[in-house]
């Protein structure tokens, strides 16, 4: 369980920074206290399973992205930024797919 908390701690911090949102704003979006978010970011505990889907929807990520179970640590920070920006710009996704022939 410790590894899961560490992954959530790292990944949640990453996505909060990427989205440029405060812990307070994030807590308000989820309907939880700011102290809950702080505990997640410190690795003291993890969000309840009911919140995992809300968190993933909010950041437009998969559970694997949040839990770090898909080997996403093999990507550099630059590559993670590119992936996240790709996900945030659906109007550009087609162009990128054509360019990369996928």
Q: Domain with 63 in it: what CATH number?
A: 1.10.260.40
pTM for the structure as a whole: 0.66
Collapsing DSSP to helix, strand or coil, 70 comes out as: coil
Name the domain count of the chain.
1
Residue 97 lies in a domain: no
Share of the chain above pLDDT 70, in %: 93
Residue 95 lies in a domain: no
Residue 83 lies in a domain: no
Residue 101 lies in a domain: no
Question: Is 94:69 a contact under the CB 8 Å cutoff?
Answer: no
pLDDT of residue 57: 94
pLDDT band at 22 (very low <50, low <70, confident <90, very high): very high
Residue 47 lies in a domain: yes
**In what helix (H) or strand (E) does residue 66 lie, and over which residues does it extend?**
helix 63-67
Residue 81 lies in a domain: no
Residue 91 lies in a domain: no
36: containing domain: 2-73
């Amino acid at each position: 369980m410790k590894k899961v908390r560490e992954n959530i701690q790292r990944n949640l911090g990453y996505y909060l920074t990427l989205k440029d949102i405060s812990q307070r704003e994030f807590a308000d979006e989820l309907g939880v206290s700011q102290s809950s978010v702080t505990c997640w970011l410190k690795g003291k505990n993890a969000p309840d399973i009911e919140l995992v889907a809300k968190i993933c929807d909010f950041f437009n990520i998969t559970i694997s992205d949040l839990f770090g179970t898909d080997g996403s640590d093999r990507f550099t920070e630059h590559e993670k930024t590119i992936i996240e920006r790709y996900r945030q710009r659906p109007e550009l996704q087609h162009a990128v797919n054509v360019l990369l022939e996928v």
